[in-house]
């Protein structure tokens, strides 16, 4: 039986059309084409493409870019921001948002079940292939962070942490917007994704990020891995690394909009204002209840300018 609903009550004609255009077309070939097209280095073609893009998107803030001149669409998608535009909430006990996003489904995990949309449950084990790791989030918290195509596409460490491995799960490239989430069962479990356990010296506390790729994206670049993870990747699924990261330090980027799922053990609580539909910026408070620092990190691990901190 197909997992795609043929009709969904409550969706407008425009939303249904959006779903058809982005998910009934050949997703694999469209994503590969977009990857090729976005790498073409032509300032004139890039300006034209951005102008067309802005006709459908009124919240693309390119004036915030560190370098507003782009040779390709990929440079635009993966743009860096001017220093100081994302102050970091550096209060003890606070986990910051790893990215700019719209908050999607969030809240307490019911034993090992959570919902991507009303009536569409999935289990932790279906999303996280490591059963040991998945078990740490029973009755914990989760937050879905959706990066719109117009948003800043880079993501950052939400706490001081160490990443020892990346578990890459190949999969489909469904759109991850709210329309698709209402129509495709267990969508996040179907799409290409990576699982990153964040270690910080407290075995009773746990945080994991799951970046999920999507149509027109299917490319995740982590600064501590040699290769990007995309539809052409043919390496090992479990990739060892040894990345020491300060809170706010850049981890990598998507090459378009996408989603990051944040999982936290049961000791954590959602911060005030973290509710479905609310915009959040990288560095703002996402979760509270993080333990005092226990993992020594060295400044030599840093590869970019320090992130502005916000002590209150």
Active site residues: 100, 156, 258
244-253, 277-286, 295-304: segment of lowest average pLDDT: 295-304
d(CA 208, CA 128): 10
Give the pLDDT confidence score for residue 4 in this predicted structure: 46
Enter the pTM of the model: 0.82
pLDDT at 233: 77
Separation of alpha carbons 150 and 234, rounded Å: 30
**Helix, strand, coil percent content, the chain, rounded in steps of 5:** 20, 30, 45
Domain residues of the chain, as ranges?
13-77, 88-292
Which tops the pLDDT comparison, 270 or 308? 270
**Measured distance CA(219)–CA(212) in Å, rounded:** 10
Among 151-155, 165-169, 292-296, which stretch is predicted with the lowest mean pLDDT? Answer: 292-296
Three-state secondary structure string covering 182-224: HHECCHHHHECEEEEEEECCCCCCCEEEEEECCCCCCEEEECC
Give me 129's structure tokens: 């292939």
pLDDT digits (tens, 9 = 90+) for 190-219: 778 899 999 999 989 999 999 988 766 657
What's the CA gap between 151 and 31, in Å, rounded? 19
pLDDT digits (tens, 9 = 90+) for 93-130: 999 999 999 999 999 999 999 887 666 788 999 999 99
Give the model's confidence band at 294: pLDDT under 50 very low, under 70 low, under 90 confident, else very high: low
Q: Tell me the β-bridge partners of 263.
A: 142, 208
Provide mean pLDDT across the span 288-302: 65
Report the alpha-carbon distance of residue 33 to residue 16 in Å, rounded.
Answer: 24
| pLDDT given at position 133 | 96
* Cα dihedral sign, 14-17-19-21: negative
């Amino acid at each position: 039986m197909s997992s795609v609903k043929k009709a969904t009550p409550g969706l407008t004609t425009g939303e249904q059309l959006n779903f058809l255009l982005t998910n009934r077309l050949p997703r694999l070939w469209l994503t590969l084409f977009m990857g090729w097209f976005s790498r073409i280095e032509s300032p004139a073609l890039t300006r034209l493409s951005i102008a067309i893009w802005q006709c459908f998107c009124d919240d693309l803030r390119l004036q915030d870019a560190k370098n507003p001149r782009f040779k390709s669409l990929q440079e635009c998608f993966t743009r860096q921001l001017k220093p100081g535009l994302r102050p970091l909430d550096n209060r003890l006990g606070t986990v910051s948002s790893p990215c700019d996003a719209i908050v999607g489904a969030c809240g307490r995990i019911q034993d090992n079940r959570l919902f991507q949309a009303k009536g569409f449950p999935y289990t932790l084990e279906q999303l996280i292939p490591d059963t040991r790791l998945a078990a740490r989030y029973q009755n914990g918290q989760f937050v879905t962070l959706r990066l719109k195509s117009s948003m800043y596409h880079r993501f950052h460490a939400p706490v001081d942490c160490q990443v020892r491995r990346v578990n890459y799960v190949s999969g489909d490239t469904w759109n991850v917007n709210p329309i698709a989430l209402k129509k495709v069962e267990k969508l996040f479990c179907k799409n290409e994704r990576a699982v990153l356990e964040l270690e910080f010296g407290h075995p009773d506390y746990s945080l994991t990020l799951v970046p999920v790729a999507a149509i027109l994206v299917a490319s995740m670049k982590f600064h501590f891995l040699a290769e990007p993870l995309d539809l052409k990747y043919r390496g090992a699924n479990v990739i060892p690394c040894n990345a020491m990261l300060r809170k706010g330090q850049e981890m990598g980027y998507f090459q378009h909009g996408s989603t990051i799922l944040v999982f936290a053990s049961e000791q954590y609580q959602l911060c005030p204002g973290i509710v479905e539909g609310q915009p959040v910026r990288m560095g703002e408070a996402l979760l509270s209840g993080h333990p005092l620092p226990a993992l020594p990190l060295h400044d030599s691990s840093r590869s970019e300018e320090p992130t502005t901190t916000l002590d209150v």
